[in-house]
Structure 1
Amino acid sequence: MVEMLVKRALQSVLVVMVMSVVAFVGINLVGNPVYLLVAPDASFEEIARATHALGLDLPLYQQYLHFFNNALHGDLGNSFVFNRPAIGLIFERMPATMELAVTALLLSALIGIPLGLWSGLRPGSRLHKFAMGFSILGVTMPVFWLGLILILVFSVNLGWLPSGGRGPTSSLFGIEVSFLSWEGLKYILLPASTLALHNIALVMRMTEAGTREVAVQEYVKFARAKGVGPLRLMLRHIAPNVMIPIVTLMGLEFGHLIAFSLITETIFAWPGMGKLIIDSVLQLDRPVVVAYLMVVLLLFVLINFVVDVLYLVLDPRLRTRQA
């Protein structure tokens, strides 16, 4: 088990190093931010001084080595636009994005897993048909369209929920969060539901397929023959075996929720990392874009590592094999 975790950790370090090269080189080959930062009538000498001040006159490999050396000390560069540490700008917006992503992930688990389990145990029933129809709808429906429809129905027509922004925040362990008050929950409900619908459909579909596969196994039939009740049969014999692929799916989807919530944050004016990264791309603020990519990459690597650990916890066969 320890050998497997060490191997995964070394692979994760290699992935981070390779992707740092790809992210840095890819971003620095696009455009020249100097022309957006200087005055339109700037002279050639002024442009040259600005280029030198930003370190953009160095060869690309030297720029990367300078970036990599600073990154090892936690410095991902200063924003060209705000003249502040890029990592600080990312961390200021991260709590809002993480709050939205965690809420969407919880909705996916709380709705998708129970519906998938019950529909998988009752193939052909009305619940099963509803779950399958809902999953198809959730996978195919565009996020931007769903967000606009939810705003139109629940904000414009019914007036139940706010159409955008983030509600009042409270400090929790030094982090500003909005879910501790009912007013804050009202602001997060629509964007989290928009972000969660696709994942609810995926979780439900995979849970249903896994349940149908496990329900015909011999040990489940034996448990039924012994008179085990439906609820205990589901929680004790079926759900633990179904959850192994679900953990992988939800781990990967959590990373996607963090990285690809740009559209949802834009539609609902949610002040997370999405709005910051869009503005930074338009302004060619390279340090902020690279810092965002590195932070998201580290989150993906960390989530995958946690998923590997959970695999060992949930599946004793892997622990025996590694032993």
Structure 2
Amino acid sequence: MTVFLFRRLLQAVFVLLLTSVIVFVGVYAIGDPLEILLPSDATVAERAQVARDLNLDAPLPMQYLTFLGSALSGDFGRSFVYNRPALDVIFERLPATLELTFTALILSLLIGLPLGLWAGTRPKTLVDETVMTGSILGFSLPNFWQGMMLVMIFAVWLGWLPSTGRGETGEILGIRTSFATWNGISHLILPAVNLALAQIALVIRLTRTGVQETMPLDFVKFARARGLSEWRILLVHVLKNILIPIVTVLGVEFGSLIAFAVVTETIFAWPGVGKLIIDSINALDRPIIVAYILVIVTMFIVINLVVDLLYSALDPRIRSRA
């Protein structure tokens, strides 16, 4: 296990280094932040002064080496727009995004697993066809369209839920969260459901397929011969065997939820890093863009490592090979 962790850490360092080069060159080769930061009537001397202050007058390789040296000490530069350390701005917004994505992930499990189990135990029935049709819609309908429909139905027509913002937050165990107030929960429901719809469809299909492949196996027949109830067989024996592919996919999808919550956060004006990166791209706020992408890549690496460790907990054979 120690060798496995060491190998993965080396891979992580290489991936982060390669990503930093690609992202830095790509971001810094596009556009000129001075055109956005300075008024059109700025003098040449003012432009030169701002360029020196932001280190934009140095050659690109020197800018990258300066960035890399600072990044190794935890400094990703100061935001051009907010005039604050880029990481501080990102970490200020990150809890809102994590709260939204965790809620979406929990919803996908709470809704997708039971529906997948239900459909898997009743193949080619009306229940199975209805659940699978719903999952196809969850995959097929564009995320932005689903979000607009949720706003129109539940916020505009029915007036049950607010459509924008994070709402009031409170503290639970020292952590500020929307779950501490009903106002915060009501603001969280629509964006979390919108973000979870595609994941619910994915969990339904994975669970249904796993159930249908596992139920004919010998260990299930042996469990029936021992007189175990169908629900015990399904929830204890079958579910444990189908969790590995579900954990695999959801681990990767959780990183995707964080990275691609941009659409949902934009529609619902959710103050997370997704909305921040859109605003930063519009303003060519390079330190924020580079820091954001490296933070997301790091989270992907950590999530994949956690998924690998969960493998070993669910299947001892994987632990012995590692």
For Structure 1 versus Structure 2, the TM-score category normalised by the shorter chain is over 0.9
What residue in structure 1 maps to residue 151 of structure 2? 151
**Which residue number in structure 1 is paired with residue 195 of structure 2?**
195
Residue 49 (structure 1) shift: 1.9
Distance of 1:5 and 1:240 partners within structure 2:
25
Q: In 2, are the aligned partners of 1:76 and 1:287 still within 8 Å (CA)?
A: yes
Q: Which residue pairs with 2:45 in the alignment?
A: 45
Structure-2 separation of matches of 1:84 and 1:150? 36
Q: Which residue is equivalent to 2:318?
A: 318
Q: Give the match for residue 70 of structure 2.
A: 70
Compared with structure 1, are the counterparts of its residues 175 and 291 closer, same or farther at alpha carbon in structure 2 (3 Å cutoff)? farther
Give, in angstroms, the shift of residue 173 of structure 1: 4.5
Instruction: Give yes or no for contact 1:95–1:175 (8 Å, CA) kept in 2.
Output: no
Distance 2:271 2:79 in 1: 18
Query: Partners of 1:319 and 1:276 in 2: how far apart?
Result: 40
Shift of 1:122: 1.7
Deviates more, 1:125-134 or 1:251-260: 125-134
Q: Distance in 1 between matches of 2:39 and 2:197?
A: 46
| Distance in 2 of aligned mates of 1:72 and 1:288 | 16
- The amino acid that maps onto 2:234 is M
Answer yes or no: is the 8 Å Cα contact 2:168–2:184 preserved in 1.
Answer: yes
3-state SS in 1 of match to 2:155: helix
Aligned to 1:308: 308
Task: Output the CA distance in 2 between the equivalents of 1:133 and 1:169.
Answer: 37
Q: Which moved more, 1:233-242 or 1:125-134?
A: 125-134
CA RMSD after TM alignment: 1.2
**Superposed CA offset, 1:62-93 (max 9, x none):** 11111111111111100111111111111111
Distance apart, 1:271 and its partner CA: 1.0
- Structure 1 Cα separation of the partners of residues 241 and 8 of structure 2: 23
- Normalising by structure 1, we get a TM-score of 0.97
CA distance in 2, matches of 1:284, 1:68: 20
Matched-pair identity in %: 52
TM-superposed deviation, 1:174? 4.2
Amino acid at match of 2:192: A
Cα distance in 2, alignment partners of residues 54 and 65 from structure 1: 15
Q: Secondary structure at the match of 1:311?
A: helix
Conserved in 1, the CA contact under 8 Å of 2:139 and 2:198?
Answer: yes
The answer on 1:26 being equivalent to 2:33 is no
Q: How does 1:265-284 map to 2 (within 5 A)?
A: 265-284=265-284
1:36-185 counterparts in 2 under 5 A?
Answer: 36-185=36-185
- Aligned: 1:211 with 2:211: yes
TM-score when scaled to structure 2? Answer: 0.97
Deviation at 1:43, TM superposition (A): 2.1
Cα pair 2:77 2:85 within 8 Å, conserved: yes
Deviations 1:150-203 (A, max 9, x none): 111111111111111111101234432111222211110001000000000011
What is the alpha-carbon distance in structure 1 between the residues aligned to residue 231 and residue 134 of structure 2? 24
CA distance in 2: counterparts of 1:8 and 1:113, whole angstroms? 31
Give 5+ residue unaligned stretches, structure 2: none
> How much does 1:19 deviate?
0.8
Q: What secondary structure, in the 3-state scheme, does the structure 1 residue paired with 2:312 have?
A: helix
Q: 1:29-73 CA distances to partner (integer Å, 9 max, x unpaired)?
A: 110101211221122222222212211111211111111111111
SS in 2 for 1:124: coil
Misfit runs of 4+, over 6 Å: none
Q: How many pairs are equivalent? A: 322
Opposite residue 121 of structure 2, the aligned amino acid is: L
* Aligned partners of 1:9 and 1:305 also within 8 Å: no
Equivalent in the alignment of 1:4? 4
Distance 1:123 1:231 in 2: 16
Distance apart, 1:229 and its partner CA: 0.5
Q: Which amino acid aligns with 2:180?
A: L
Deviation at 1:214, TM superposition (A): 1.0
The residue number in structure 1 matching 2:227 is 227
- Alignment partner, residue 238 of structure 1: 238
Instruction: From the superposition, tell whether residues 50 and 290 of structure 1 become closer, same or farther in structure 2 (CA, over 3 Å).
Output: same
**Residue identity matched to 1:243:** L
* Contact 2:171/2:180 (<8 A) preserved: no
Q: 2:156 corresponds to which letter in structure 1?
A: V
CA contact 1:27–1:290 (8 Å) conserved in 2: yes
SS at the partner of 1:30?
coil
